[in-house]
Structure 1
Amino acid sequence: MDEFQKMLAGELYNPSDNNLSLMRARTRKLIDNFNHSSFEEEQSRLKLLKSLLGKAGNNISIHQNFYCDYGCNIYVGSNFFANYDCVILDCAEVHFGDNCMLGPQVGIYTATHPLDPIERASGLESAKPIHIGNDCWIGGHATINPGVTLGNNVVVASGSVVTKSFGHNLVIGGNPARVIRELKCSSGTTPEEKEAK
């Protein structure tokens, strides 16, 4: 496997690899163009986003400034909104369902490093994918850590640090994040109650 394949497979990889460095350089140019574009240039901004992201659904909007490592590992559903200063470290895949909203200064981090100090000093790192379901709202300054999966209709309170995965229809918050309350679907039942009927 090459270093890009190792990275996506969750194995230790060398981020200084020439191919990865070239990929990040391309991404930085696109991000720089996007972050310096005018809001009045809606079509050109959308074109930049679609050339940057691995997949982009209909009706997506990202405010400046936006930062990511590769872009090609970010998969965004329809009706996606990210507010100012969003950072997505997409060394592994990051998937968003439909109708997702991110508050300002949200950080989504797939990148991680060895706990052993000697191994960490070698410069090798790894990454774990993140999956965000449909209809999720992540509040401002929230952090989503490597390997987290959030189900559908999850609200993350602002300032939270999400260190583990959660199911559907929840408000979570805190550091580390925990369940604050359960939510009803718009039909008034949870998915589990629907399945039981």
Structure 2
Amino acid sequence: MRTEKEKSFAGEWYDPNGDPELVADRKKAMDLCHQINLLPTYSPERAELLPQLFPEMAASVVIINPIWVDYGNHTTIGANSFLNRNAFLMDEGKITIGEHCLIGPNCGMYTANHTFDPIERRTGVEEALPITIEDDVWIGGDVTITPGVTIGHGSIIGAKSLVNKDIPANVIAVGNPCHVLRALTAADKVLPE
């Protein structure tokens, strides 16, 4: 018989409060977020706590306070990525942030999904669908990313967008709901070659 945590990573409906390991992991993450957010961004104490919150985070990642997560250990953050103020990673499911990503302030990534039936919602069951941000993605401020979304390599998501479906690689996408505005081209370069 599968644990509730195993069900969550299999994309099945599960009870997040029915597994002592999940409950303990959330409590640990809340405590770590609280401690981290009270410390100066570049303090040595904070630098020691961040890998406890994000065991799968490259050493070159920069995260600006405050940071909020449900678990932290369900999130992977690649080398040279930057998370600006007030990011919230609702990582009931796996969140993968690639290398060289720029995550704007107030970005919310939400993997949890609830049942449509109001009586079923009372039970607290949910499903967790992964979010993937591929390498070199720039996400503007106040962007919301919903369960199961992948944002392709090199793409840009405009500020205040609601990303509720996959976005292909190397495009600019904006809006609510987020849609592709245009492809990125050589004309977008500003530095001499």
Tell me, yes or no, whether TM beats 0.5: yes
Match of 2:23 among 21, 24, 33: 21
Once the two structures are overlaid, the 10-residue window that deviates more, 49-58 or 162-171, is 49-58
- Cα deviation digits, residues 90-144 of structure 1 (max 9, x gap): 0000001110011110000001101122221221111100000110010000001
- Between the two proteins, what is the percent identity of the paired residues? 35
Cα distance in structure 1, aligned partners of 2:51 and 2:123: 35
Deviation at 1:19, TM superposition (A): 2.1
Can you give the 5+ residue segments of structure 1 that lack an aligned partner in the other structure? Answer: 189-197
Q: Is residue 151–residue 167 contact of structure 2 (8 Å, CA) maintained in 1?
A: yes
Kept after mapping to 1: 8 A contact 2:154/2:169: yes
Residue equivalent to 2:95:
94
**What residue is the counterpart of 1:36 in the other structure?**
38
1:40-59 C-alpha deviation (Å, 9 max, x unpaired) = 41x33222111111411131
1:185 Cα shift? 6.2
Give the TM-score, by structure 1 length: 0.90
Q: 2:8 is matched with which residue?
A: 7
Q: In the alignment, what sits opposite 1:123?
A: 124
CA gap 1:7/1:158 in 2 versus in 1, 3 angstroms: same
TM-score by length of 2: 0.92
> How many Å separate the matches in 2 of 1:185 and 1:79?
23
* Structure 1 residue 62 corresponds to structure 2 residue 69: no
The answer to whether the 8 Å contact 1:88/1:107 transfers is yes
Partner letter of residue 7 of structure 1?
Answer: S
SS across alignment from 2:79: coil
Which residue number in structure 2 is paired with residue 155 of structure 1? 156
- Local SS of the residue matching 1:122: coil
User: Per the alignment, in what secondary structure is the counterpart of residue 25 of structure 2?
Assistant: helix
Describe the SS at the equivalent of 1:115: coil
AA at the equivalent of 2:139: I
- Deviation by residue 1:30-81 (Cα, 9 ceiling, x = unmatched): 111100112341x332221111114111311111111000100100000111
- Cα RMSD of the aligned pairs, angstroms, is 1.7
What is the CA–CA distance in structure 2 between the aligned matches of 1:21 and 1:156, rounded to whole Å? 33
Query: Which residue pairs with 2:46 in the alignment?
Result: 45
Which consecutive segments of 4 or more residues in structure 1 shift more than 2 A? none
Aligned pair count reads: 187
SS of residue matched to 1:6: helix
Determine if contact 1:169/1:185 at 8 Å carries over to the other structure.
Answer: no
Q: Distance in 2 between matches of 1:162 and 1:39?
A: 29
